[in-house]
Structure 1
Amino acid sequence: MSDGELAAYSLVELAVDRLRRDILSGRTDPGERLVEEQLTRRLGISRAPLREAMRLLAQQGLVEHIPRRGARVATLSDDDVRELYEVRDVLERHAVATMPARPELTGLRAALEVMRKATEADDRLELANAHRRFHTEVVRLGGNKQMAGLYESILVRIQLYMAVNMRREAETARAEDGVARHERLFGAIDAGDTEGIRAALSEHGARTYLT
């Protein structure tokens, strides 16, 4: 890769990172238009890397391209959300059923520690990302890497849906409660308590996840 190609790729990465953070933190609402002229000025990049970044974000389910109207932050219907939660639950149940008796918990422990630190720092985006990493690590314990990747992509889309609520509820939400839920789940996994794992996962329903 030439220096010019590397520079262009770096600009794409920059744009993807900045826009992804804006979307998943709730700074931009679902359905909000993403205007090229405004974004190129704000990010300090040209149209070519911005368009490539938007293409990559569309692949992640975070951006939608509307014919003759440009791009916007993706939206989810009630049916979309219900179906995503159903798929999430199926993958979690499969992971629990295939989890070894004594799984390696290093990744899970690290994600929980990041969650604690993000809670102390009141970093809502990092906290949401840590929640997602924690749950992906739970599914990864089932031993199927492809399934874990699919699961994480579903959680990203759910996080998009929850981002605005997270922003609006930030003043009243108790982030400590979220940490406590994940500590209970970690404890059940560490103890090999299958029923306890299922009970802890059931606490992470559509109304409580990422809050």
Structure 2
Amino acid sequence: MRSESEQLPSASLVELAVSRLSREILGGGADPGERLVEEQLTRRFGISRAPLREAMRLLAQQGLVEHVPRRGVRVATLSDVDIQELYAVRDVLERHAVTTTPPDADLSGVAAAMKAMQESDARGDRFDMATAHRELHVAVVALAGNRQLVAVYESVLVKIQLYMALNLRREAEVAPAHDGVHRHERLFEAVARRDPPAVLAALDEHGARSYIQ
């Protein structure tokens, strides 16, 4: 049996590969369906196949990659119907959370996520922007104080996080500068006013915009 100290380097390499691939995929460096060639990745990252394969397994659990029989690994894909259905489920869960949020809910998590989104937008960091975007939505849902609701909601976001990131990226290419973060600022302002109808209206505006083709 390996000692803990012997396992750390391998674990560190797995974490490195997961971090770099996540940043590439969610940051716009790879599109859905793009093949991930093992030989190229081991050479780029300077690691062996074992930690890379473990990283791929973890990324598959996160919904970012998928294993295709006899064809290797590729960036995950969803059908148009899958995307529409998952976004619809997301919207239902958000609406339920908003309508059941107590008036004295702690807004610190939402405020922190909004600040992170503003800062990543200012830096032009697409990966951090996508991460803060997801965290903001989770924080809004978490205001309801229902842990099971949050768990279900996060499971939906895992499946569509790549497409949420892709939507933000394409929005940045065609919409006015900083339009995405401004929409979320309006959402945050409605949450801060503790105005459920305004929050729902902001979410409706949010959901109506899709740049995924």
Q: Same fold (TM over 0.5)?
A: yes
Give the structure 2 partner of residue 125 of structure 1: 127
Give the structure 2 partner of residue 10 of structure 1: 12
Alignment: residue pair count = 210
Give the structure 2 partner of residue 49 of structure 1: 51
Greater shift in the superposed pair: 133-142 or 150-159:
150-159
Give the structure 1 partner of residue 150 of structure 2: 148
Greater shift in the superposed pair: 142-151 or 47-56:
142-151
1:62 and 2:72 are equivalent in the alignment: no
Greater shift in the superposed pair: 179-188 or 108-117:
179-188
CA deviation vs aligned residue, 1:138-176 (integer Å, no higher than 9, x gap):
011111234324323433433312544544554443353
SS at match of 2:67: strand
2: distance between equivalents of 1:209 and 1:145? Answer: 31
Give the structure 2 partner of residue 180 of structure 1: 182
SS at match of 1:31: coil
Identity %: 64
2: distance between equivalents of 1:35 and 1:156? Answer: 23
2: distance between equivalents of 1:126 and 1:189? Answer: 22
User: Unpaired segments of 5 or more residues in structure 1?
Assistant: none
2: distance between equivalents of 1:209 and 1:146? Answer: 31
CA 1:165–1:135: 2 relative to 1, 3 Å: closer
**Displacement, 1:179?**
2.3
Greater shift in the superposed pair: 53-62 or 112-121:
112-121
CA deviation vs aligned residue, 1:40-88 (integer Å, no higher than 9, x gap):
1111111111111111111111111111111111111001101110110
CA 1:59–1:148: 2 relative to 1, 3 Å: same
Structure 1 contact 96–197 (Cα < 8 Å) conserved: yes
Match of 1:95 among 94, 97, 112: 97
CA 1:78–1:37: 2 relative to 1, 3 Å: same
2: distance between equivalents of 1:5 and 1:206? Answer: 48
Q: CA RMSD in A?
A: 2.1
2: distance between equivalents of 1:54 and 1:76? Answer: 18
2: distance between equivalents of 1:175 and 1:208? Answer: 16
CA 1:189–1:22: 2 relative to 1, 3 Å: same
2: distance between equivalents of 1:189 and 1:169? Answer: 23
**Displacement, 1:13?**
0.9
2: distance between equivalents of 1:110 and 1:157? Answer: 24
Structure 1 contact 85–206 (Cα < 8 Å) conserved: no
SS at match of 1:188: helix
2: distance between equivalents of 1:168 and 1:193? Answer: 30
Amino acid at match of 2:76: A
SS at match of 1:150: helix
Give the structure 1 partner of residue 117 of structure 2: 115
**Displacement, 1:185?**
1.7
